[in-house]
Structure 1
Amino acid sequence: MRKTSILLGTFFICLLMLSGAQMAIPYQKDIVPEKVAALYTANFIKFQNEVDALATLVNKASSVNEWEGLKSQVEKTRLVYKEIEFIFDYYQTFYNGTYINGAPLPKVSEYFEAEKVIPPGGLQALDEAVYDSVSNENLQHIKVLANGLKERVDFIANIHLPVHLKSSQIIECIRSGIVRIFTLGLTGYDTPGSVNGLKESVVSWQSMETTFLYFEVGMAPEAKNEFEAIKKHFTKGKNILKANTHFNDFDRLAFLKEVVNPLYAALSEFQNANKIMLEPYKKHAQNYKAENLFDKDFLNTDFYSELVYLPLYNPKTIALGKLLFGDPQLSKDNVMSCASCHNPNKGFSDGLPKSVSNQKGVFTDRNAPTLMDAGYSARYFWDMRALDLEKQVIHVIDNDLEFNTDFDAIVAKLNKSERYNKLFKEAYGGIAKEDINQRSISNAIAAYVNSLKSFNSPFDKYVRNETKEYPENAKRGFNLFMGKAACGSCHFAPVFNGTVPPFYLESESEVLGITQGFDSIAPKLDTDLGRMGNGLKMDKHPFLKNSFKTVTVRNIALTAPYMHNGLFVTLEDVLAFYNLGGGAGMGLEVENQTLPDTPLELSQQEMEDIIAFMETLTDVSEYGDGGE
Structure 2
Amino acid sequence: MKKKGILIGSIFICFLLLSGKKTATPYQTDRILEKVAAVYEANFNKFQGEVDVLVDQADKTTSLNEFENLKAQVRKTRLAYKGIEFIFDYYQTFYAGTYINGAPLPKVNEHFKAGSVIEPCGLQALDEAVFDEPSKENLQHIKVLANGLKERVDFISKTHLPIHLKSSQIIECLRSGLVRIFTLGLTGYDTPGSVNAMEESYVSWQSMETTFLHFGTAVSPNAKSEFKTIKDLFEKGKTILNANTDFNDFDRLGFLKEVVNPLYARLLDFQNLSNIKLEPFKKHAQNYESKNLFDGDFLDTDFYSELVYLPLDNPKTIQLGKLLFQDPQLSDGNKMSCLSCHSPNKGFTDGLPKSKSNQVGVFTARNSPTLINANYSTRYFWDMRAFDIEKQVTHVIDNDLEFNTDFEAIIDKLNRNSNYLKLFKEAYGGIGKQDINQRSISNAIAAYVNTLKSFNSPFDQYVRNETNEYPENAKRGFNLFMGKGACGSCHFAPMFNGTIPPFYLESESEVLGITQGFDSINPKLDTDLGRIANGLNGEKQPYFKNSFKTVSVRNIALTAPYMHNGLFDTLEDVLEFYNLGGGAGMGLEVENQTLSDAPLNLSEQEIKDIIAFMESLTDTSGFTANMN
TM-score interval (norm. to shorter): over 0.9
In the alignment, is residue 269 of structure 1 matched against residue 269 of structure 2? yes
**Counterpart Cα distance in 1 of 2:371 and 2:90:** 30
Further displaced range: 240-249 or 204-213: 240-249
CA deviations 1:286-312 (Å, max 9, x no partner) are 000000000000000111111110111
**Counterpart Cα distance in 2 of 1:276 and 1:179:** 21
Structure 1 segments of 4 or more deviating over 3 A?
A: 14-19, 21-24
- 2:125 corresponding residue in structure 1: 125
Whichever residue aligns with residue 221 of structure 2, its letter is: P
In the TM superposition, residue 89 of structure 1 has moved relative to its aligned partner by 0.1
In the TM superposition, residue 486 of structure 1 has moved relative to its aligned partner by 0.1
- 2:43 corresponding residue in structure 1: 43
- 2:443 corresponding residue in structure 1: 443
- 2:391 corresponding residue in structure 1: 391
Whichever residue aligns with residue 29 of structure 2, its letter is: K
Whichever residue aligns with residue 214 of structure 1, its letter is: H
Unaligned runs of 5+ in 1: 1-7
* C-alpha contact (below 8 Å) 1:50/1:76 kept by paired residues: yes
In the alignment, is residue 494 of structure 1 matched against residue 494 of structure 2? yes
* C-alpha contact (below 8 Å) 1:25/1:220 kept by paired residues: no
SS for the counterpart of 2:548 is: strand
- 1:586 corresponding residue in structure 2: 586
- 1:422 corresponding residue in structure 2: 422
In the TM superposition, residue 15 of structure 1 has moved relative to its aligned partner by 6.7
CA deviations 1:522-544 (Å, max 9, x no partner) are 10000101000000011110110
- 1:85 corresponding residue in structure 2: 85
- 1:168 corresponding residue in structure 2: 168
* C-alpha contact (below 8 Å) 1:449/1:624 kept by paired residues: no
SS for the counterpart of 1:566 is: coil
**Counterpart Cα distance in 2 of 1:102 and 1:219:** 36
Whichever residue aligns with residue 150 of structure 2, its letter is: K
- 2:310 corresponding residue in structure 1: 310
**Counterpart Cα distance in 1 of 2:15 and 2:346:** 71
- 1:180 corresponding residue in structure 2: 180
* C-alpha contact (below 8 Å) 2:128/2:191 kept by paired residues: yes
In the alignment, is residue 434 of structure 1 matched against residue 440 of structure 2? no
In the alignment, is residue 457 of structure 1 matched against residue 457 of structure 2? yes
- 1:359 corresponding residue in structure 2: 359
CA deviations 1:438-461 (Å, max 9, x no partner) are 000000001111111110000000
SS for the counterpart of 2:243 is: coil
CA deviations 1:595-619 (Å, max 9, x no partner) are 0001000000000000000000000
In the TM superposition, residue 244 of structure 1 has moved relative to its aligned partner by 3.5
**Counterpart Cα distance in 1 of 2:46 and 2:272:** 34
* C-alpha contact (below 8 Å) 2:244/2:250 kept by paired residues: no
In the TM superposition, residue 33 of structure 1 has moved relative to its aligned partner by 1.5
SS for the counterpart of 1:373 is: coil
- 2:148 corresponding residue in structure 1: 148
CA deviations 1:10-49 (Å, max 9, x no partner) are x99x979969x96863321232221111110000000000
- 2:3 corresponding residue in structure 1: none
**Counterpart Cα distance in 1 of 2:154 and 2:324:** 54
* C-alpha contact (below 8 Å) 1:25/1:219 kept by paired residues: no
**Counterpart Cα distance in 1 of 2:609 and 2:541:** 38
In the TM superposition, residue 319 of structure 1 has moved relative to its aligned partner by 1.2
1:361–1:15 Cα change, 3 Å: closer
- 2:570 corresponding residue in structure 1: 570
- 1:57 corresponding residue in structure 2: 57
* C-alpha contact (below 8 Å) 1:448/1:624 kept by paired residues: no
**Number of aligned residue pairs:** 615
CA deviations 1:429-479 (Å, max 9, x no partner) are 110011110000000001111111110000000000001000000000000
**Counterpart Cα distance in 1 of 2:373 and 2:573:** 24
* C-alpha contact (below 8 Å) 1:383/1:547 kept by paired residues: yes
In the TM superposition, residue 510 of structure 1 has moved relative to its aligned partner by 0.2
1:22–1:602 Cα change, 3 Å: closer
* C-alpha contact (below 8 Å) 2:22/2:220 kept by paired residues: no
**Counterpart Cα distance in 2 of 1:359 and 1:620:** 31
In the TM superposition, residue 314 of structure 1 has moved relative to its aligned partner by 1.2
- 1:103 corresponding residue in structure 2: 103
**Counterpart Cα distance in 1 of 2:88 and 2:50:** 16
* C-alpha contact (below 8 Å) 1:452/1:624 kept by paired residues: no
TM-score normalized by the length of structure 1: 0.96
* C-alpha contact (below 8 Å) 1:29/1:217 kept by paired residues: no
* C-alpha contact (below 8 Å) 1:525/1:588 kept by paired residues: yes
Identical columns (%): 76
Whichever residue aligns with residue 320 of structure 1, its letter is: L
1:204–1:417 Cα change, 3 Å: same
CA-atom RMSD, angstroms? 1.7
Further displaced range: 217-226 or 496-505: 217-226
In the alignment, is residue 482 of structure 1 matched against residue 470 of structure 2? no
- 1:282 corresponding residue in structure 2: 282
Unaligned runs of 5+ in 2: 1-6
* C-alpha contact (below 8 Å) 1:301/1:375 kept by paired residues: yes
In the TM superposition, residue 65 of structure 1 has moved relative to its aligned partner by 1.4
1:15–1:572 Cα change, 3 Å: closer
**Counterpart Cα distance in 2 of 1:287 and 1:390:** 23
In the TM superposition, residue 333 of structure 1 has moved relative to its aligned partner by 0.2
